[in-house]
């Protein structure tokens, strides 16, 4: 949990992000976005349900996550077990245009997924006729906290 003096900052940032994305500020959106702001790594649908503190139904969480992805607030991260995790986008993402070209790291010990913002996805040269729409790189191993 963040220190008390950061709570107003979180609330301002949440309201600003939602308004900038043309989303109404609802209690479920505020609480889910707050989880992303206070958590260093990526979150799964189940993580959000467990950490939200109150019971949100699965549909509310799913719809909120989908709206956040569509508006460029969060991005999806595939995992080795074919599930999906979500992490906050950077400021230059917008509706339908994600610019999160970085590597994701999955720790085998703590099971957290981290965005490695300073490690850029490699430039991939595709054969003629192929058009890349998204490049995802997932590195697995042991994070610096678990080492």
Over residues 83-121, the pLDDT tens digits come to 888 888 766 554 544 555 678 888 889 888 887 878 877
Res 127: pLDDT: 95
Please indicate, yes or no, whether the overall pTM of this predicted structure exceeds 0.75: no
Res 10: pLDDT: 76
Over residues 58-93, the pLDDT tens digits come to 888 889 999 998 888 888 887 767 788 888 876 655
CA torsion sign, 45 to 48 to 24 to 16?
negative
Pair type for strands 113-120 and 102-107: antiparallel
Res 1: pLDDT: 43
Closest of 23, 13, 10 to residue 64, by C-alpha: 23
Res 72: pLDDT: 84
Over residues 12-55, the pLDDT tens digits come to 888 888 888 889 888 889 999 999 888 877 888 888 888 776 67
Domains with residue ranges and CATH for the chain: 4-141 (1.10.10.10)
């Amino acid at each position: 949990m963040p220190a008390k003096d950061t709570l107003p900052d979180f609330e301002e940032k949440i309201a600003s992000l939602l308004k900038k994305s043309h989303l109404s500020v609802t209690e479920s959106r505020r609480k889910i976005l707050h989880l992303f702001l206070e958590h260093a790594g990526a979150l799964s649908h189940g993580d959000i349900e467990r950490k939200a503190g109150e019971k949100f139904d699965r549909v509310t969480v799913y719809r909120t996550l989908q709206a956040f992805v569509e508006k460029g607030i969060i991005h999806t991260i595939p995992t080795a077990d074919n599930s999906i995790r979500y992490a906050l986008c950077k400021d230059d993402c917008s509706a339908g245009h994600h610019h999160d070209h970085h590597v994701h790291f999955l720790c085998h010990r703590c099971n957290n997924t981290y965005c490695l913002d300073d490690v850029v996805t490699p430039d991939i040269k595709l054969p003629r006729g192929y058009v890349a729409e998204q490049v995802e790189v997932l590195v697995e191993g042991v994070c610096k906290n678990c080492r």
